[in-house]
Structure 1
Amino acid sequence: MTSTKETPSIENLYHLDGKISVKQAVPFGLQHILAMFVSNIAPIFIVAGASGLSSQDTAMLIQSAMLIAGIGTLIQLFPIFHKVGSGLPIVMGISFTFVSVFTYLGVAYGYNAIVGAVIVGGIIEGILGLLAKYWIKLITPIVSSTVVTAIGFSLLSVGASSFGGGSGSETFGSATNWILGSITLLCCILFNIFAKSYFKQLSVLFGLVVGYLIAIAMGAVDFSSLQNTAIIAFPSLMPFKPEFNINAIISTTLIFLVSATETIGDTSALAASGLNREATLKETSGSIACDGFISALSGLFGCMPITSFSQNVGLVAMTKVVNRFAIATGAVIMILAGIFPIFGSVLATLPDAVLGGCTLMMFGNIVISGLQMMGKAGFTQRNITIAALSLSVGIGFTQVPEIFAIFPQIIQTVFAENCVAVVFIVSIILNLVLPKNMEAHTEA
């Protein structure tokens, strides 16, 4: 009798608006936060270091990032005015896409100019999201599926880098990191094979917990950062006075356009892998609008742009858990981490190698989702040409960024190491210029 009562609740994990208990929701929400936490704060460390910010300023930005990411995730789950937010289980976080341009702008104009550019660029992206119906037709199924595939491929090196111990780590590729990454990955796989019922979908959380405990036992976890961390503190509004530098604004707005294309890809991938359907215009429009306006809000708190996290799209693709309440518990955890810095500091001690062991499979799932979307779009000669050439140029050229040396610095900053941006531009151009009836031309 008990199992009969529980079954509908368990099945509701795989439905957007299904009713589930808090006890069931929390593990899945926590799993999403652990999957993205390190990646959420890593861009802040990089940009803050390049901009010459103090450790106190960096800690404040991390706190703000968790709060804004939690608010942004809730808005994605439960749209404002049915316009801002997708209504899909999209988890938001600090975007890696802006790191290269911000490291340049931080040195050239200072962090205050970055803040001003984030506010302006975010508003522009938000407005573009609300007006998506006028331009979204450019994003055909073959374009979006190619972009999703590119997102997956671009993240594979991120997963591998984490597996090795994190880019720039003194112990990168060490035996300790190999052991931690391998054990974590193995735990995820074995738990997914042998666990029963919906517990199977907690394989990433299980792998993270086991990997973390083993890392502690091996002395690979540094708790020193917890000593001076306040238990409770509230993020500051306008901690940096915005400076509106036109060069910084133009550069940042261009990256916001790139970020919007990634959001389109993430939204398409999530709908395809988690809901087995295409994303609607309303969902895509709301998703982009949320990205933009929440990024502007992030700028008011002195922080970097917020965007949809491909890591969590990969997690949804793997678990098929799309319940909004389950993901909302994760958003609440992020907000609490923004108010209680000690909570975020504990999560920040999670070793990169442990995270890498979990993310390898997740990122691979994004690639597979993109390929499945291509299959649904159809492998016509035209579609094959668009996908093949876009991926070849996008992934190939960005592997050798020196190829962009003849272009102005702004072009190099935006495209030289951003394969998703290049894939998007090439696929859009090909989709516009290639004849619609290529098969007829080939037969002739």
Structure 2
Amino acid sequence: MHATKTSTESASVNHIYTLDGKVPLLNAIPFGLQHILAMFVSNIAPILIVGGACGLDSKETALLIQSAMLIAGIGTLVQLFPLFGKIGSGLPIVMGISFTFVSILSFVGAQYGYGAIMGAVLIGGMIEGVLGLFAKYWIKLISPIVSASVVTAIGFSLLSVGANSFGGGAGSENFGSAENWILGVVTLVCCILFHVFAKSFWKQLSVLFGLIVGYILAVCMHMVDFSSLAGTSLIAIPQLMPFRMEFRPDAIVSVVLIFLVSATETIGDTSALAASGLGRDVTEKETSGSIACDGFISSLSSVFGCLPITSFSQNVGLVAMTKVVNRFTIATGAVIMILAGVFPMFGALLATLPDAVLGGCTIMMFGTIVVSGLQMISKCGFSQRNTVIAALSLSIGLGFTQCADLFAIFPQMVQTVFAQNCVAVVFVVAIVLNLILPQNMEAEHPAQSENAK
């Protein structure tokens, strides 16, 4: 009897590797928490940057951080369990506040105020959402080699994010200090050792283990600032419309363009997750639902005074590394985010996680996305056509954006969208090449055929 019970429990725990299997709640929570810890700092960082550019005070910023957790949780649940069968992918995608919009929103906010940001996000999100619903009419432009190139670019673009976190956070006073190196290295080594020596499904909690060990070490090294916990309310309901919306045409056009870029990243993330987590190609319906969720939940985010939301590539990397794809398991993380939005103390505690600890965990996850992209390119095949599309889009996208001055002759809007966004450049170049290159570049030239005869 005991052996049968143990076997049954083991089978249910093993459902973490299936989309819809039942997993015991106590087993699911650690995996959900692992996803939240992996994205938490990146979820609130865009708000801190844009809020600072708009001159928001600490109280206003705290309200937006609270809303960010709530919206991220809601968006993740919608991705996991689609609304009306159309809004959401049904895949284990974790949503969060997008970094892609930081530059343009900082510019719009500084020029027109935070209300103009909210108006532009509301309109832009609706447009992306509608494009998602009708994706079947244009998604065929995004061939497998285009998606593979975009996924690879996403991975490469995140490597600097992981490195900056490893060093203690870009712009921090002690960036690259010995203390940050110690935290990052210890966290990374703990992740690797736990993944190597842990048994069964426990090894998939290597990131959570590394975060816990790194956090404890940071506390011992007096590198955790608990001052933000003082005066934090135990419970608070996020406010609706904390800012009065304004609708500026030029701001709306600029933000809509970035929404199109965000949609390409979502296509790449969705493709990467299906390929690396489920071992198959993404379906048209899943891609359509993922984009629609991106857009409509971003519009909802603006109602709470928050920034646009998107799929988080670091969590795609976590799925690729652990192969944990169970929707209920990821949903526990979404519920944790919603609770963090209702209980500010919980979110404030998570916010004390040092950047170096996060960097030690994420650097391998981001590398996993690069590998997933390369595997997708390999699956497409190395025909002359595919090689030209992948090689040229990646070389131009990754190379030109390292030299932002190359874009100096273009209008400011073009610079804002492309100058430092390698994913956008890779996408545009790959799409153009996919449209203009002949389908069979390796066919013999007619003259060669005649000579052969």
2:91 to 88, 92, 95: 88
Which residue of structure 2 aligns with residue 239 of structure 1? 242
Letter in structure 1 aligned against 2:115 = N
2:13–2:24 Cα contact (<8 Å) kept: no
Match of residue 425, structure 2, among 409, 422, 425: 422
- Aligned partners of 1:147 and 1:10: how far apart in 2? 34
Alpha-carbon shift at residue 442 of structure 1 (Å): 7.4
- Matched letter for residue 162 of structure 1: S
Secondary structure, counterpart of 1:63 in structure 2: helix
Match of 2:33 in 1: 30
Q: Distance in 2 between matches of 1:53 and 1:438?
A: 55
- Amino acid aligned to 1:25: A
- The answer for the alignment partner of 2:338 in structure 1 is 335
Among 13, 18, 23, which residue is 1:20 paired with? Answer: 23
Of the candidates 51, 54, 73, which is equivalent to residue 54 of structure 2?
Answer: 51
The answer to whether the aligner puts 1:187 opposite 2:190 as a matched pair is: yes
* Equivalent-residue separation in structure 2 for 1:8 and 1:335 (angstroms): 29
Q: 2:181 aligns with which of 147, 167, 178?
A: 178
Counterpart residue identity of residue 215, structure 2: Y
Question: In angstroms, what is the RMSD of aligned CA positions?
Answer: 0.8
Cα distance in 1 for partners of 2:192, 2:175 equals 24
* TM value normalised by structure 2: 0.97
1:354 is aligned, of 352, 357, 364, to 357
In structure 2, what is the Cα distance between the partners aligned to 1:3 and 1:340? 37
User: Aligned ranges for residues 278-293 of structure 1 at < 5 Å?
Assistant: 278-293=281-296
1:109 Cα shift?
1.2
What's 1:110 paired with? 113
Alpha-carbon distance in structure 1 between the residues aligned to 2:359 and 2:444: 47
2:319 partner amino acid: V
1:103 shift after superposition? 1.1
Would you say how many aligned residue pairs link Structure 1 and Structure 2?
A: 444
Residues 196 and 203, structure 2, Cα contact 8 Å, conserved in 1: yes
- Aligned equivalent of 1:71, options 74, 77, 86: 74
Q: Which residue of 1 aligns with 2:146?
A: 143
* Residue 267 in structure 1 maps to residue 270 in structure 2: yes
* 2:8 equivalent in structure 1: 5
Structure 2 distance, partners of 1:10, 1:239, is: 43
* Alpha-carbon distance between aligned partners in 2 of 1:420 and 1:64, rounded to the nearest angstrom: 27
CA drift of 1:7 comes to: 2.3
Identity in percent:
73
Question: What is the distance in 1 between the residues matched to 2:72 and 2:190?
Answer: 29
SS of the residue corresponding to residue 205 of structure 1 reads helix
Alpha-carbon separation, structure 2, partners of 1:248 and 1:112 = 11
For 1:217, the equivalent position in structure 2 comes to: 220
**Aligned-pair CA distance for 1:6:** 2.0
**Deviation, structure 1 residue 441:** 5.1
Question: 1:314: Cα distance to partner?
Answer: 0.2
Question: What SS does the aligned partner of 1:439 have?
Answer: coil
Counterparts in 2 of 1:106 and 1:19: CA distance versus 1, 3 Å: same
| TM-aligned CA distance change 1:438 to 1:59, over 3 Å | same
Partner of 1:366: 369
Opposite residue 207 of structure 1, the aligned amino acid is G
Offset at 1:4?
Answer: 1.2
Q: Counterpart amino acid of 2:14?
A: E
1:164-199, Cα deviation, whole Å (9 max, x unpaired):
000110000000000000000000000000000000
Aligned partners of 1:88 and 1:311: how far apart in 2?
15
Provide the TM-score with structure 1 as the length reference.
0.99
Instruction: Report the secondary structure of 1:93's partner residue.
Output: strand
User: Within 2, Cα distance between the matches of 1:442 and 1:115?
Assistant: 56
The amino acid of 1:193's aligned partner reads V
How far residue 33 of structure 1 moved from its aligned partner, in angstroms, is 0.1
Distance 1:161 1:250 in 2: 31
Give the aligned residue type for 1:407: F
Q: State whether residues 37 and 350 of structure 2, in contact with CA within 8 Å, keep that contact through their aligned partners in structure 1.
A: yes
Q: Render the CA deviation track for 1:377-429: whole Å, top value 9, x for unaligned.
A: 11101000000000000000000101000000000000000000000000000
8 Å CA contact retained: 2:142, 2:431: yes
Structure 2 counterpart of 1:300:
303
CA distance in 2, matches of 1:177, 1:184: 11
Give the aligned partner of residue 40 of structure 1: 43
Counterpart of 2:252?
249
Q: Is the counterpart of residue 128 in structure 1 residue 105 in structure 2? A: no
Deviation of the 1:3 alpha carbon:
3.1
Equivalent residue number for residue 205 of structure 1: 208
Q: Which residue of 2 aligns with 1:226?
A: 229
